[in-house]
């Protein structure tokens, strides 16, 4: 390129979901959320919690970091509200860690709900001691540089899913699901139906009633079923 790139581009203001909409997603399993979102929204399966017991729900704040660089991840700490989820995209870089334990301790101190990174982290014992959910592809002791170029709150692709600032993010042992803010109200309404249907189905199973996992008659228009014995 001609000339030097801008080291850091930051959007400080963006619209967050209404508290009542966000509350609809709290304590909802990620599987319920994807069911309510037409079976989509999940990040790549490689992004998992450091501890399987970790779970979260919050509003996305995004940081884009280039390979071997973490400038945007360092800067994003100054542009947060309590309850935000920091979502870091590094293009899946596996050369060096993007964040470590001291960074995570400060994120916890200012009220961050969780940290997601499609690259690597380091200082795992310290990250676990920080008592904040961390979802990542893995860990490595190598450190990144703070050179840029990087971006804060311009939107990213993390784990194959677009994440914009203000989107709703939910995570648990199964992984991470992103719901765009513009669709969050509609998904929240469907989520209530999913929760009710799941509760009804669970009650039937506990009573010993078999669920209809498939419908033989419905396959007639697609050639039906052929039994070999």
Query: Which residue range is the domain that position 144 belongs to?
Result: 8-195
How much of the chain, in percent, has pLDDT values that exceed 90?
Answer: 87
How much of the chain, in percent, has pLDDT values that exceed 70?
Answer: 100
As a whole number of angstroms, the distance between CA 29 and CA 90 comes to: 26
As a whole number of angstroms, the distance between CA 124 and CA 138 comes to: 10
**Residue entry with tokens 């970790």:** 54
Residue 217 falls inside a structural domain: no
Residue 85 confidence (pLDDT): 98
pLDDT at 1 over 80: no
Residue 157 falls inside a structural domain: yes
Residue 59 falls inside a structural domain: yes
Residue 34 falls inside a structural domain: yes
Residue 177 falls inside a structural domain: yes
Residue 63 confidence (pLDDT): 98
As a whole number of angstroms, the distance between CA 127 and CA 105 comes to: 8
**pTM beyond 0.85:** yes
- The CATH number of residue 17's host domain is 3.50.30.40
Work out how many domains the chain is built from and give that number: 1
What confidence tens digit (pLDDT) does each residue in 92-134 have?
A: 889 999 999 999 999 999 999 999 999 999 999 999 999 999 9
Cβ-based burial of 200 (10 A; exposed 0-12, middle 13-18, buried ≥19): exposed
Asked if 90 and 65 count as a contact pair (C-beta separation under 8 A), the reply is yes
Residue with more model confidence, 211 or 72: 72
Handedness of CA 172, 88, 134, 12 (dihedral sign): negative
Residue 5 confidence (pLDDT): 87
Residue 75 confidence (pLDDT): 98
Residue 71 confidence (pLDDT): 97
Asked if 102 and 33 count as a contact pair (C-beta separation under 8 A), the reply is no
- Across the range 2-15, mean pLDDT stands at 92
Mean pLDDT estimate for the chain: 95
Residue 70 falls inside a structural domain: yes
Residue 84 falls inside a structural domain: yes
Residue 221 falls inside a structural domain: no
Long-range contacts of residues 73-79, Cβ cutoff 8 Å, at least 24 apart: 73/98, 73/99, 73/103, 73/150, 74/103, 74/146, 75/8, 75/10, 75/150, 75/152, 76/152, 76/153, 77/103, 77/106, 77/107, 77/110, 79/10, 79/12, 79/152, 79/153
As a whole number of angstroms, the distance between CA 2 and CA 100 comes to: 34
Residue 2 confidence (pLDDT): 78
- Across the range 64-69, mean pLDDT stands at 94
Residue 225 confidence (pLDDT): 93
pLDDT at 210 over 80: yes
- Residue 83 CB neighbours (<10 A): 16
What confidence tens digit (pLDDT) does each residue in 136-175 have?
A: 999 999 999 999 899 999 999 999 999 999 999 999 999 9
Return the structure tokens found at 96.
């060096």
């Amino acid at each position: 390129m001609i000339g030097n790139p801008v080291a850091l581009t930051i959007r400080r203001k963006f619209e967050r979901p209404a508290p009542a909409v966000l509350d609809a997603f709290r304590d909802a399993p990620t599987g319920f959320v994807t069911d309510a979102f037409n079976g989509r929204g999940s990040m790549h399966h490689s992004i998992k919690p450091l501890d399987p017991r970790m779970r979260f729900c919050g509003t996305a704040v995004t940081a884009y970091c280039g390979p071997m660089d973490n400038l945007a991840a360092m800067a994003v700490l100054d542009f947060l509200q309590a309850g935000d989820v920091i979502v870091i995209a590094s293009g899946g870089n596996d050369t060096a860690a993007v964040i470590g334990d001291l960074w995570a301790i400060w994120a916890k101190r200012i009220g961050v709900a969780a940290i997601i990174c499609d690259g690597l982290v380091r200082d795992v014992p310290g990250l676990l001691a920080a008592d904040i959910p961390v979802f990542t592809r893995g860990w490595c002791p190598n450190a990144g540089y703070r050179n840029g170029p990087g971006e804060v709150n311009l939107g990213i692709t993390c784990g194959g899913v677009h994440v914009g600032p203000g989107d709703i993010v939910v995570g648990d042992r199964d992984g991470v699901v992103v719901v765009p803010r513009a669709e969050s109200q509609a998904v929240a309404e469907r989520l209530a139906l999913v929760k009710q249907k799941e509760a009804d189905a669970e009650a039937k199973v506990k009573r010993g009633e078999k669920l209809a996992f498939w419908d033989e008659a419905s396959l007639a228009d697609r050639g039906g079923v052929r039994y070999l014995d």
